[in-house]
A and B are shown apart, each in its own frame.
Chain A
Amino acid sequence: GQQVMQIPQYQHVQEGEDFTTYCNSSTTLSNIQWYKQRPGGHPVFLIQLVKSGEVKKQKRLTFQFGEAKKNSSLHITATQTTDVGTYFCAGPKDSNYQLIWGAGTKLIIKP
C-alpha cells in the first residue's frame, strides 16, 4: 500500500548545529504537509508544499519538495532549544481524503 517513509527516527544535535529530516513517498504526491509536535503536545501545522521543486523558508526552517513530488525535506539551521520536538511529514492518500503520516523525526538537543 501507499507509504510515507521518514528518516532518521532520531537526531541528536548540539545547540547551534543544523538538523535535517527526509520524507519519501511510494507514490507521487499532490502536496505534502509538515507538522511539529512539542514534547507532551499535539501536532501543529507548519507548512504545505504543492509545486514540483518548491522551496519555502520560515526563518531558520527550509522546506523542499522534490522535482518528482515523491520526496521532501525539512532543514533547520542553527538549532535552538525551542526547536526540540518531533517533525512529521504527511501526504494525501491516493484513494480518499486523508493524510498518510511519516513516523516522525525527533530532534533532541544534547545537553
Chain B
Amino acid sequence: DAGVIQSPRHEVTEMGQEVTLRCKPISGHDYLFWYRQTMMRGLELLIYFNNNVPIDDSGMPEDRFSAKMPNASFSTLKIQPSEPRDSAVYFCASSRTEIYDEQFFGPGTRLTVL
C-alpha cells in the first residue's frame, strides 16, 4: 500500500487566496483526520470523518476553513481566504475500523501564506 497521500507537498500563496489541500487515505480505512502543526500550538486536530461523514469539526479555527470527503478515497481541506497565520504543516491521517486504532499520517503539506 502507498500509505496516505497528500498533495501538494508545499504550497506558497498570498494572503487572500484560496488554498486547497488534498488527501487520499489508505484503502479500507474508515477514519480520516486533518491536523495542523505549528511550533506555537503543536499538533491540533481540525476535523475528522468516519465513513466519509464529518463527526467533529470543533477544531476548525474559523469559517474560512472547510473540509469535505466526497468518497472513501478522497478528502479536501480548503482555506478561503487564506491569512499569514494559517502558515503551518497540515497533516492528513487515516485509521482502520477499530476504535482508537493507530493513525497513519501522510507526509504533510507545508503551507506558507505571504
By a beta-carbon cutoff of 8 Å, the part of chain A in contact with chain B is 30-31, 33, 41-45, 48, 88, 92, 96-99, 101, 103-104
Asked if residues A43 and B105 are in contact (CB atoms below 8 Å), the reply is yes
Additional pairs, 4, CB under 8 Å, beyond known A97-B31, A104-B42: A42-B107, A97-B50, A98-B33, A99-B103
Q: In the complex, what's the smallest C-beta–C-beta distance from B51 to chain A, in angstroms?
A: 12
Q: How far is B99's CA from A43's CA once the two chains are assembled, in angstroms?
A: 19
Chain B residues near A (Cβ < 8 Å):
31, 33, 42-43, 45, 48, 50, 55-56, 91, 93, 99-100, 102-108
Nearest A-chain residue to B105, judged by Cβ: A42
Closest to A50 in B: B100
Q: Which residues of A contact B55 (CB under 8 A)?
A: 96-97
Q: Which 5 A-B pairs have the closest CB atoms?
A: A45-B102, A42-B105, A101-B43, A103-B42, A43-B105
Q: Are B91 and A42 in touch, CB under 8 angstroms?
A: yes
Q: Report A76 CB to chain B, min CB distance, Å.
A: 20
Set of chain B residues within 8 Å of A33, measured between Cβ atoms: 100, 102-103
Residue contact A45 to B33, C-beta cutoff 8 Å? no
Q: Which residue of A lies closest to B89 (CB)?
A: A42
Contact B105 A98 (CB under 8 A): no
**Chain B neighbourhood of A31, CB < 8 A:** 100
